[in-house]
Structure 1
Amino acid sequence: MGLCTYPTLNCFEDVIDVYFISPTKGKITLKEVVEDIIAFMEEEPNAAYKLIIGTDSQARDTVCFVTAIIIHRVGKGARYYYRKKFMSQVKSLRHKVYTETSLSLEVVNLLERELSKTSYRNMDVEIHVDIGQNGDTKELIREVVGWVMSSGYKVKIKPQAFGATKVADKYTK
């Protein structure tokens, strides 16, 4: 696959080529992620679930972006999957945050396309973004939160954005 360019909302050339890593199952396709999410929810069909998407990144020679998908059985655990994508550079903090957010929105759109073929088409979805009231990213809160909300999703920022700041961050290193 090619590298993403900024701004990006078309980083996945073909859904067939979209792979994620499951800590328990290894490399799996997006379709297999959806099947695993459904199987997890069917284990306890009366539980409340949240579908959480978050992306974080870390720069070295290249920039590693990790997008995490978390299916959270509220109060009773979760499963997660992640995908790495590399870029040669990011031009600024704004570029980094916008690319992270774009990747999260792209993944949630792909997931919803697959979930729309099932009885789980109306899930509670949250996008977790790696921005917060402290630090340089506070200047981006209004525009990034507005962007995600205008895309139709709930949004969480630090310190509630664990999908980005804990799960995705773990695999950027």
Structure 2
Amino acid sequence: MNFINPTKGLLDLDKMFDDIIEFIRDDKNSRYKLMIGTDSQPGKVICFVSAVIIYREGKGARYYYRKFQHKKIPSLRQRIFMEANYSIELANLLSSRFEKMGKTDFNIEIHLDVGENGMTKDIIKEVVGMVTGCGFDAQVKPDSYGASKVADKYTKSM
């Protein structure tokens, strides 16, 4: 699984995790949030982008993203649940790495590309329940910028 950081280029999962840890160690006195969001863009195939953002509260952030394709998905509902599932899978991978380091209090937010306006309003409760049921905090629009801004930015080209 490879990710791209706009500054550092292509990184595998291990190198991305090491970079996140380095970012945290650079300022141990700050508070951090780790946000994961996935967005998709339909076309001949579905372009998915998952973004990982480490936010140093009040002092900036670093982000990483990965792009991948999937065959056509019959409905928006299924696509939204797939986006959430990809984010949860990634959150579980990173969470287990933090646990191995003894960082069990590190909170991970899943940013969902759903909101009270538009076609996704009817599934907010279900998709948020899916995320919280997996032990992660869920954010929806307009607070889900990991999916609706960062990941969305990279879904436009494949």
Global fold match (TM > 0.5): yes
Residue 36 (structure 2) aligns with: 53
Q: Deviations over 1:17-46 (max 9, x none)?
A: x11111111111111111000100111101
TM-score when normalising by structure 1: 0.87
Match of 2:45 among 48, 58, 62: 62
Q: Deviations over 1:96-126 (max 9, x none)?
A: 1001000000100111122222243421211
Alpha-carbon offset, residue 152 of structure 1: 0.6
Q: Is 1:171 paired with 2:154?
A: yes
Please provide the CA RMSD for this pair.
Answer: 0.9
Q: Is 1:90 paired with 2:73?
A: yes
Distance 2:37 2:125 in 1: 18
TM-score when normalising by structure 2: 0.96
Alpha-carbon offset, residue 90 of structure 1: 1.1
Please tell me whether the aligned partners of residues 31 and 114 of structure 1 are also in contact (alpha carbons under 8 angstroms): no
Per mean C-alpha deviation after superposition, the further-off stretch among 107-116 and 70-79 is 107-116
- Counterpart amino acid of residue 109 in structure 1: N
Task: Count matched residues.
Answer: 156
Per mean C-alpha deviation after superposition, the further-off stretch among 56-65 and 116-125 is 116-125
Q: Is 1:37 paired with 2:16?
A: no
Distance 1:91 1:85 in 2: 18
Q: Percent identity?
A: 49
Q: Deviations over 1:39-94 (max 9, x none)?
A: 00111101000000000010111110000000000111000000111011011011
Distance 1:155 1:84 in 2: 22
Residue 58 (structure 2) aligns with: 75
- Counterpart amino acid of residue 56 in structure 1: D
SS in 1 for 2:84: helix
Map of 1:88-167 to 2, 5 A cutoff? 88-167=71-150
Q: Structure 2 regions of 5+ residues with no counterpart?
A: none
- Counterpart amino acid of residue 92 in structure 1: S
Alpha-carbon offset, residue 140 of structure 1: 0.3
Per mean C-alpha deviation after superposition, the further-off stretch among 111-120 and 92-101 is 111-120
Residue 15 (structure 1) aligns with: none
